[in-house]
Amino acid sequence: MQLKANDIGFRYENGPWLFRGVNLCIEPGEVVGIAGPSGRGKTTLCRILSSYETPLEGSVTFNDAPLPDKGYHPVQMVLQHPEKAVNSRWKMHSILNEGYHPDEELLEILGIEQEWLTRWPHELSGGELQRFCVARALGPNTRFLIADEMTTMLDAITQAQIWQAVMEIAQKREMGIIVVTHEAKLMQRLCDRVIEL
């Protein structure tokens, strides 16, 4: 059930290579950090690992096979800005249930209140919205979660709440996590190992 990147390289159009020959292997239940200066391609790498982008060189494999191109994707990504990741014309319950139906227990662990479900996205704060984005990504078939600056925009208490919930769920399900953050202290707290890009 490993997620593997084999010698991948990427560039936008005819621009310079963002990265080449990147290798990465993550085991289930492992928490791996990706660090590197801004503009180095951390987000692009995450997008490739979750099939939002196709690498120009190399390949990504899940369980030694190519990533599936239909059905539920085993690698789910949570982005930095939740307000850009939800449909502003949908109410929260539709957003939450788009991919699957999260159970009460998950909502409780993540601190999502029933009363929020009938609101529009603009009526929730960034921290509240991000909880929905996390819940949405934690379907029963998610094997790897990519947290790309997931709590960067949130205050310390909300950050600790969300990470505590995610780590608990990951441990229970043997789910692997990739953490992208610039906060060295957070990286230290969460990750088993860190890869420099």
Select 65 or 156, whichever has its Cβ closest to other proteins.
156
Task: For 173, list phi and psi in degrees, rounded to 5.
Answer: -95, 0
Note whether 141 binds other proteins by CB under 8 A.
no
Note whether 154 binds other proteins by CB under 8 A.
yes
Note whether 76 binds other proteins by CB under 8 A.
no
6 bridge partner residues: 59
Note whether 65 binds other proteins by CB under 8 A.
no
Of these, 46, 73, 96, 149, which contacts other proteins (CB under 8 A)?
Answer: 149
Note whether 182 binds other proteins by CB under 8 A.
yes
Assign 178 to helix, strand or coil. strand
Note whether 36 binds other proteins by CB under 8 A.
yes
119-125 LR contacts (CB < 8 Å, sep 24+) = 119/91, 119/92, 120/88, 120/91, 120/92, 121/83, 121/86, 121/87, 121/88, 121/90, 121/92, 121/95, 122/83, 122/88, 124/92
Tokens of 162: 């969300």
# binding residues, other proteins (CB under 8 A): 35
Of these, 163, 176, 178, 179, which contacts other proteins (CB under 8 A)?
Answer: 163
Residues forming contacts to other proteins in the complex (CB under 8 A) are 36-39, 43, 80-81, 111, 113, 123, 125-128, 149, 152-161, 163-164, 182-186, 188-190
